[in-house]
């Protein structure tokens, strides 16, 4: 599984445009389950976002924290659908029970749903996005946000440019 996981990290970071449904499905035959893949993507996206932020500001990278012992929950939400995308996801209307807080403000865009089969991965990404970008419940605000030094149009222009450079065509 380790070579498969290493290849997955490489693709997410360097070649996101080459991630296909058949490639994700093939990973499962090589021991990288959908849940493990979703968790891996969540960690990689968070670390990459922090690293890129530091690099853009010509700051030293944050050191990775030491590994911590713990128990893997292997928790899987009750309601997952393979309706769109490459991995099973909680449906837009399915964030109930333990998952009721996964779509803040009712925002259930597919980019959020993509991490929903591993709820902690989505919680971690939401916290980082709120700090680096904006909380998803404020996504509908297209005007100036007093908590930010640039306006929403400037934010979206930067986000689009970074996505283009990183070949992330979501």
pLDDT, average across residues 151-159: 85
Cβ 50 vs Cβ 65: under 8 Å: no
- Percent of the chain topping pLDDT 70: 98
Does 17 have pLDDT greater than 70? yes
Does 94 have pLDDT greater than 60? yes
Token code pair at residue 16: 């996101």
Cβ 129 vs Cβ 96: under 8 Å: no
Output the pLDDT for position 104.
86
> Measured over all CA atoms, what is the biggest interatomic distance in the chain, rounded to whole angstroms?
49
Does 142 have pLDDT greater than 90? no
Q: Helix, strand, coil: what percent of the chain each, to 5?
A: 50, 0, 45
Token code pair at residue 50: 């922090």
Output the pLDDT for position 170.
56
Does 51 have pLDDT greater than 80? yes
- Predicted structure pTM score: 0.86
Residue 89, SS3 per DSSP: strand
CA distance 92 to 148: 29
Kindly report the average pLDDT of the chain as a whole number. 89
Does 98 have pLDDT greater than 90? no
Does 27 have pLDDT greater than 90? yes
Does 64 have pLDDT greater than 80? yes
């Amino acid at each position: 599984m380790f070579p498969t996981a290493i290849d997955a990290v490489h693709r997410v970071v360097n070649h996101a445009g080459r991630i296909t449904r058949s490639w994700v499905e093939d990973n499962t035959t090589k021991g990288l389950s959908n849940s493990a893949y979703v968790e891996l993507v969540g960690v990689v996206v968070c670390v990459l976002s922090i690293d890129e932020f530091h690099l853009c500001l010509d700051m030293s990278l944050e050191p990775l924290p030491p590994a911590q012992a713990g128990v893997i929950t292997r928790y899987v939400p009750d309601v997952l659908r393979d309706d769109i995308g490459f991995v099973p996801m909680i449906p837009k209307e399915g964030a109930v029970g333990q998952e009721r807080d996964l779509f803040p403000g009712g925002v259930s865009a597919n980019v959020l749903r993509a991490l929903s089969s591993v709820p902690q991965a989505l919680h971690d990404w939401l916290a980082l996005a709120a700090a680096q970008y904006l909380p998803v419940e404020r996504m509908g605000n297209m005007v100036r946000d007093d908590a930010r030094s640039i306006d929403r149009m400037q934010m979206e222009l930067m986000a689009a440019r970074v996505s283009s450079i990183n070949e992330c065509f979501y």
